Amino acid sequence: MPMYFNRKHSKVPPRKRRIPGTMNRTEERYAQLLESMKINGEIWDWKFEAIKFILAPNTSYTPDFQVIYEDRCEFHEIKGFVREDAIAKFKVCAAKFPEFGFKMIKLEKGNWVTILEF
């Protein structure tokens, strides 16, 4: 008899719970890129999970990175796999806070690709 995980009749293991404030490997790679951009003077600073946006009662969104340029502030969401609920929250946040820039970025074949931008 096959071994099932905690979802009924599923052979797919559950997603690991991430500890808030800790980066996954893809986020660590992006942080290295941001740090080199900071050293080269392309950005002023960057922060990981610096801000939590309240979108509605009991609904919040915490972007992966806050990126501070000389003249603007952007929030970057780094994705390995893009889920529909993540896209929905991202779009709602960008619409609710138009004073900031928002980018959803994915690592594809060694290159950082912007897949959504507001």
Of the two residues 77 and 4, the one the predictor is more confident about is 77
Q: Phi/psi of residue 34, each to 5°?
A: -60, -40
Domain boundaries, the chain: 25-51+63-112
For 38-83, what is each residue's pLDDT tens digit? 999 999 999 999 999 999 999 999 999 999 999 999 999 999 888 9
Strand partners, 67: 46, 74
Report the distance separating Cα 6 and Cα 66, nearest Å: 35
Report the distance separating Cα 27 and Cα 31, nearest Å: 6
Sequence-ordered list of residues with C-beta below 8 angstroms from that of 81, at least 6 positions apart, any chain: none
Cα 57 from chain centroid (whole Å) = 21
Average pLDDT, the chain: 90
For 26-48, what is each residue's pLDDT tens digit? 999 999 999 999 999 999 999 99
Sequence-ordered list of residues with C-beta below 8 angstroms from that of 74, at least 6 positions apart, any chain: 66, 67, 100, 101, 102, 103
What is the number of alpha carbons within 13 Å of residue 62 lying toward its C-beta? 9
pTM above 0.85, yes or no: no
What's residue 19's pLDDT? 79
pLDDT tops 60 at residue 101: yes
